[in-house]
A and B are shown apart, each in its own frame.
Chain A
Amino acid sequence: MKELMPFLKEMVSIAGLSGYETPIRQLVEETWRPLTDELHVSRLGSLHGLQKGEAPKGSGSCHSIAFATHMDAIGLMVTGVVEGFLRVTEVGGLDPRVLLGQPVVVHGRENLLGVVVQPPANLLPNMGPDTTVSVEHLLVDTGLLPNQVSRLVHTGDLVSYAQEPLELGDDYLAGHTLDNRVSIAALTYCLELLRKNRHAWDVWAVATVQEEETMAGALTSTYDLRPKIAVAVDVTFAKGPGVSDYRAFSLGKGITLGWGPNIHPTLHKMVKELADKLEIPCHLDPLPHRSGTDAYGMQIVAEGVPTVVIGIPLRYMHTPVEMVAIKDIQRAGRLMAEFAMQLEPEFVVELTEK
């Protein structure tokens, strides 16, 4: 079994902003190769790994279930170079208030270290006291001379968080991009379990692209693979400083199952019962509107796909210091594997006709 802590640290240290996932895909590809029977890259760059099911005698093919974990990360993109400093815009949803003083890597002609800075007030448009600035007012300083910057950095270059991951004791990790590399870790754990166990269904492990921007990966991979069941695995809010209401769950105390319009009720119930049977702590995550996961896209592909949302609680989502419990990742991976294993060859008929 792959050790989850070092694997996660390796994954978050590799770039892969939405639309530019190649570096992280290469690592996941390498990791999944021994765990899959087939491995494809979609036209938009999502990774599809197949673990073949054992088809019943006489029938040639199996139904398939897809587990979707998005591999893209939020970050910044260069919009211009001014006097050796970079102006930037967001890739994905960012709170500019967490950017000040953040170490970053600028992916120019070379990878350059930098820091995001807010210029002094007298250099900015007049803003009231106690207000913050938007991303367009911030600059990235690479420490290089203006002529070096002009040569090495161009509009459109990407900027990734560079905060190094922090092990907080044996079971907790903090760092950027744990959303959603933790789910790739869970899916990898699931593939390892499935390798050693019989399953009647084909299992597609999917590392999707562009979840943070357009859901293009979830939509197109689902169309491509046509799974009978699609499971989105993503992070959900953990309770912590500033977050205590019904939308958040205790860190390290179990995973969540989404409930709402993006989720098929029968599947939800099945997975919940399975979790209870396995004594995997699993909390109901009410998602009255859109789920904010790949399931939102996958559900409406082609003639429609029944979906499940599994959540891994994470503190400080979309900051460079997200925090997760390794235990919850293992719980998610195990539940995914057990769910795939218990699917009967003809179960899907029951699901769509009832």
Chain B
Amino acid sequence: MKTKRGAISKDLPKLRSAQIQLLERLCNAISVSGGEGEVREIILEQVKPYADEIKIDALGNVLVTRKGIVRRGDTRRLRVMLAAHMDEVGFMIVNDEGEGIFRFGVVGGIDSRQLPGHAVKVGTDHIPAVIGAKPVHLVEDSDLKHVFPIDDLRIDAGPGNGKGGKIKVGDWATFAIPFKRIGPSLRAKALDDRVGVASLIELVKHAPANIDLLAAFTVQEEVGLRGAGVAAYAFDPDMAIVLDCTPANDLPDWHGEENIHYNTHLGAGPAIYIADHATLSDPRLVRFFIETAEVQGIPYQLRQPGGGSTDAGAIHRQRTGIPSISISVPTRYPHTAASIARFSDWQNTFSLVYTSLSQLTFDVLVGER
């Protein structure tokens, strides 16, 4: 099928300071897998005026329907599911050892080397606390080479905050570094996947009329893609697009060799998935997104096929099968205290997804896969 050059650009919503402020709120919220309430509240507040229907399902997914307009001759519109996960990796308080010191468990994939020396915030009141480390003066030289065993680390809220049950076993916690704009980049915890959530909120607000937009803000992506599957079952869409973040490992090689395992590059535009550990993207959708990007002059990159997974891994195997693709904003250092993404990549990702949706018809799925 053909895409129309320039037909969309004048209507294309731009991401401006209001959208960045919303992303900031989303990133600074605590929304660890299983405890996504804080981000869910922000989403509901944002999409309510625009939604035709909003459901919160049994797992806590937010399912928002925004209907398009049926054109003469069509019996129905293309039902397109868009998914972005609300949850982030983090911690759960698992034992109160007294005097403000708590043992914690890790939720989702966090490298334990990323923990010592960090500020965290705990529970719905965002109680400040730290994950300390043994002073270097008391560490044997031979131990400096070894990772701090996670069993030796604690969340320490100080003897004052330890009192009065402000922090309870079962509370969720995250890194505390606040969102900042640094030059052309955004630095925050949980850009994975608040960038996707922020994009999806904008898409609900500016839904193209040619499709039924089925927005799934999913839970528990970081603990095994658990929310997206049931969301896809409920929506029963014709196709699905997952909006996520993918690592940009575009750092210099120690030996000065070319870095050939970069996954994606910051600043090179949205990352289109061909294959990851959990999904083989629908090739018709891959071709459609590439063609749209090229015709519209939107920069894009192909994510290096390999490991990793997105909600598409659960969605594409639901019911009788759902043609799926993931489009990610490249992000350095996901699952750490401070990830970095480029604002231009977010804007270009949004432009590509919006433009593609505006041009989607049943034709895209007509040919053989």
Contacts and interface: CB of A to CB of B under 8 A. Distances in A.
Interface of A: 82-83, 85, 93-103, 112-115, 117-120, 122-125, 130-132, 137, 139, 141-145, 148, 163-164, 166-172, 174, 237, 240-243, 247, 251-252, 292, 315-321, 323, 325
Q: Which 4 A-B pairs give the minimum distances between C-beta atoms?
A: A169-B160, A143-B185, A168-B158, A98-B117
B368 interface: no
Given A132-B147, A172-B158, A143 B340 contact: yes
26 contacts: A95-B136, A97-B117, A98-B116, A101-B175, A101-B337, A112-B182, A115-B187, A117-B332, A120-B261, A123-B251, A124-B254, A141-B332, A144-B185, A166-B130, A167-B128, A168-B128, A172-B160, A174-B158, A237-B137, A240-B132, A243-B138, A252-B159, A316-B132, A318-B136, A318-B137, A321-B117
Contact of B132 (A148, A323, A325): A323
B101 A166 contact: no
A264 B144 CA distance: 35
B148 interface: yes
Interface in B122-137: 128-137
Given A120-B261, A169-B161, A321-B117, A98 B251 contact: no
Contacts of A118: 113
Nearest to A130: B147
Contacts of B129: 166, 168
A101 B154 contact: no
Contacts of B254: 119, 123-125, 137
A132 B135 CA distance: 16
A319 B177 contact: no
B161 A101 contact: no
Given A122-B261, A130-B146, A174-B128, A93 B136 contact: yes
A97 B149 CA distance: 12
B253 interface: yes
A101 B135 contact: no
A114 B183 CA distance: 10
Contacts of B113: 97, 100, 118, 132
Given A93-B136, A141-B332, A141-B333, 12 more contacts: A101-B118, A115-B187, A115-B333, A115-B338, A167-B128, A168-B158, A241-B134, A241-B153, A241-B154, A242-B133, A319-B116, A319-B132
B156 A144 contact: no
B20 to A, nearest CB: 14
Contact of A131 (B147, B255, B261): B147
A141 B136 CA distance: 24
Contacts of A148: 183
Contacts of A242: 132-134, 152
A241 B128 contact: no
A240 B101 contact: yes
Contacts of A167: 128
A241 B147 CA distance: 16
Contacts of A115: 187, 333, 337-338, 340
A163 B340 contact: no
Contact of A323 (B145, B147, B156, B178): B156
Most chain B beta-carbon contacts within 10 A, residue among A124, A143, A171, A320: A143
Contact of B144 (A97, A122, A144): A97
A187 B3 CA distance: 72
A163 B254 CA distance: 28
B135 A168 contact: no
Most chain B beta-carbon contacts within 10 A, residue among A85, A98, A171, A237: A98
B249 interface: yes
Nearest to A166: B128
Interface in B163-200: 163, 175-178, 180, 182-187
A179 to B, nearest CB: 9
Given A113-B180, A143-B187, A241-B153, A132 B145 contact: yes
B259 interface: yes
Nearest to B333: A117
B139 interface: yes
Nearest to B103: A241
B184 A241 contact: no
A112 to B, nearest CB: 7
A171 B99 CA distance: 13
A95 B139 CA distance: 9
Nearest to A74: B136
B100 interface: yes
Given A112-B182, A241-B153, A241-B154, A99 B117 contact: yes
Most chain A beta-carbon contacts within 10 A, residue among B146, B153, B187, B261: B187
Contacts of B135: 237, 243, 316-319
Contacts of B139: 95
Interface in B216-264: 249, 251-255, 259, 261
A119 B248 CA distance: 11
Contacts of B324: none
B158 A145 contact: no
Given A115-B333, A130-B146, A143-B184, A241 B159 contact: no
Contacts of B338: 101, 103, 115
Nearest to B259: A123
Contacts of B158: 168-169, 172, 174, 323
Contacts of B138: 237, 243, 247
A94 B136 contact: yes
B28 interface: no
A319 B133 CA distance: 7
A167 B127 CA distance: 10
B182 A113 contact: yes
B119 interface: yes
Contacts of B186: 143
B349 interface: no
Nearest to A94: B136
A132 B142 CA distance: 11
B253 A123 contact: yes
B281 interface: no
Nearest to A170: B160
Given A93-B137, A94-B136, A321-B131, A131 B182 contact: no
Contacts of B136: 93-95, 317-318
Contacts of B100: 168
A134 B130 CA distance: 23
A132 B144 contact: yes
